Structure 1
Amino acid sequence: MSSNFIWAALLILSASLTQTGCISDNSNPALPLDPSADLEKVLAESADFPLENLRMDPTTLKMLADLRSATAKYHRMEVAEDDGYSQATPCISHPNLGSMGYHFVNFDLVDGIFDPTQPEALLYEMDQEGNMKLVAVEFIVVTEAWEEEEIPHFGSQIFDIALAPTPLPFDNYQLHVWVWKNNPSGIFTKFNPKVKCGENGSH
């Protein structure tokens, strides 16, 4: 699979989805003063990596803190757009598991490289006032372009395997990381029961 084919497929997917899922460009103007200050609060109730386990896994905990520091600027959506992220999906939800939110993807980053501080996608939730709030990130690695023998992993967490055509038109490794909103189902779980896709993000 050529990089040109992957790029074309992503553009087609983005165009088809954004036609029915457009949002306003309102964003949360407030940036946390210390991106790592409430990391433990965000992670405390996670099912897959409870806080006590993370304290015994300092490598993953440090990577999560670094990821928050690297993505704190994207609480301002205009900064995300300036850095190449654009809306790629409407708000994605599941009838029983919760929602992922709106995916903003930097298509230039979707390749065979995994950078733990540079996610390919940012996930936003719309609040009742129509403001977009950063809640999570997603890493996407093109399987065919990945040159390592082992599946990529974020600290001790291995990536999920996603086979085409769901949800992308090419096989990929992907991982959702809920570093900006607590996910009771787990830090690395795709859907968050606390995220809703109702009108104007109403809960």
Structure 2
Amino acid sequence: MKKLVSYTLAAMIIPMAVWAEDVDLDKLRDAVSKYKDVNVAMAEGYISPDNNCVSAEGEGLPPDLGAMGMHYIQPQLLKITGTDPRVDGMSTHTNWMQPSVLIYEPQADGSMELVAVENLVFLEAWNAAGKTDAPVLNGRGWDHMADDPGTPGDEAHGFAPHYDQHVWLFRENPMGELMPFNPNVTCEHHPS
């Protein structure tokens, strides 16, 4: 549990003199509803780079935290510059009406259900743009993600150091609509 505490509290104690945005979640839900059909997302360039479903247990966290799901990224919005050894890019994209990541939960019938959206900015690009503090959405600082090689899980999920923020628009999250994991999401139907 120590790892979870540092993961979530770090985002909450960021100074408020930061880049902040308030977003009407009902308007956001309407704007991204078209992506409920994963084929629409793929037609607009979203891809699942590693076909991985992220669960808390898979990341070395308590299983009762649930999962995130499968991340479909939009390479142009993330300005991907490389994938080895980690996905890296030049993104400072924070437009919530066109999120850079869509998150799906695999279903028993093989279909994908849109559960959340996410934006991600790469730390190096963010700092190079003169932004030295984490972005804030609706009063919550985005999570700072960097892998700790001393743990079995990959805290950055295959990405270079970055800030990211999840928004659970289509699946209720008892921990909060802006938290990273959702106990009401599972990877149990992922083919791996």
TM-score in same-fold range (> 0.5): yes
Whether the 8 Å CA contact 2:93–2:119 is kept in 1: the answer is: no
Counterpart mapping for 1:76-115 below 5 A: 76-88=37-49, 89-95=51-57, 96=63, 97-110=65-78, 111-115=91-95
Pick from 141, 149, 174 the counterpart of residue 158 of structure 1.
141
Whether the 8 Å CA contact 1:140–1:174 is kept in 2: the answer is: yes
1:117-150 Cα deviation digits (max 9, x unpaired):
1211111112222221100011100112122243
Distance (Å, rounded) in 1 between the aligned partners of 2:189 and 2:135: 36
Offset at 1:78?
1.3
Give the paired residue count.
142
The structure with more helix, counted as a fraction of residues: 1
Identity %, equivalent residues: 34
Letter aligned with residue 108 of structure 2? Q
TM-score (norm 2): 0.67
Offset at 1:84?
0.8
**Runs of 4+ that moved beyond 3 A:** none
Whether the 8 Å CA contact 1:91–1:101 is kept in 2: the answer is: yes
1:88-125 Cα deviation digits (max 9, x unpaired):
34111123211111111111111122112121111111
Gaps of 5+ in 2: 1-20, 58-62, 79-90, 149-155
RMSD of aligned alpha carbons? 2.0
Partner of 1:124: 104
Q: Cα–Cα, structure 1 residues 140 and 200, in superposed 2: closer, same or farther, change >3 Å?
A: closer
1:3-49 Cα deviation digits (max 9, x unpaired):
xxxxxxxxxxxxxxxxxxxxxxxxxxxxxxxxxxxxxxxxxxxxxxx
1:61-88 Cα deviation digits (max 9, x unpaired):
x521222121100011111011110113
